[in-house]
């Protein structure tokens, strides 16, 4: 951001700043108000709460047992995007997006 943009009145800059401020406001609102909704995390929290309430330290969620290996990580994050790209709808959307970005940056 240049110093001259603080002095001159630019409606596009004002609109951009207003949009950014609104996005930041809604992000903070979401972080503060919305609860967790991912089921494995909810089960981990419930198991943790039950362990402290009952004193039974054998209680655990299946998600806590998951041991991550390098092979599983490579399979999940290395192969899955390419398998997804092999589906026709994903391939066509990616092709369209690459065409649009190519036109945009010419």
Nearest CA to 49 out of 37, 60, 34, 38 is that of 60
For residue range 14-66, list pLDDT tens digits in order: 888 899 999 999 999 999 999 889 999 999 999 999 999 999 999 989 888 88
pLDDT tens sequence across 88-97: 999 999 999 9
d(CA 28, CA 41): 21
Instruction: Give the residue numbers spanning the domain of 80.
Output: 69-106
Whether 6 and 30 share a structural domain: yes
Is there a single domain that holds both residue 29 and residue 7?
yes
Find, among 59, 61, 41, the residue nearest to 50 by Cα: 59
Count of structural domains, the chain = 3
Q: In whole angstroms, how far apart are CA 66 and each of 15, 94, 103?
A: 47, 33, 45
pTM strictly above 0.85 = no
Q: How many CB atoms lie within 10 A of CB 50?
A: 14
Residues 62 and 73 in one domain: no
Tell whether 58 and 41 lie within a shared domain: yes
């Amino acid at each position: 951001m240049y110093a001259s943009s603080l002095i001159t009145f630019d409606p596009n800059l004002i609109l951009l700043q207003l949009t950014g401020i609104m996005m930041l406001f809604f992000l903070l609102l979401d972080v503060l108000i919305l609860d967790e909704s991912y089921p494995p995390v909810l089960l981990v929290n419930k198991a943790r709460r039950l362990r402290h309430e009952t004193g039974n330290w054998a209680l655990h969620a299946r998600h806590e047992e998951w041991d991550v290996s390098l092979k599983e990580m490579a399979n999940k994050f290395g192969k899955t995007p390419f398998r997804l790209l092999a589906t026709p709808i994903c391939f066509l959307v990616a092709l369209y997006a690459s065409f649009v970005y190519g036109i945009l940056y010419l």
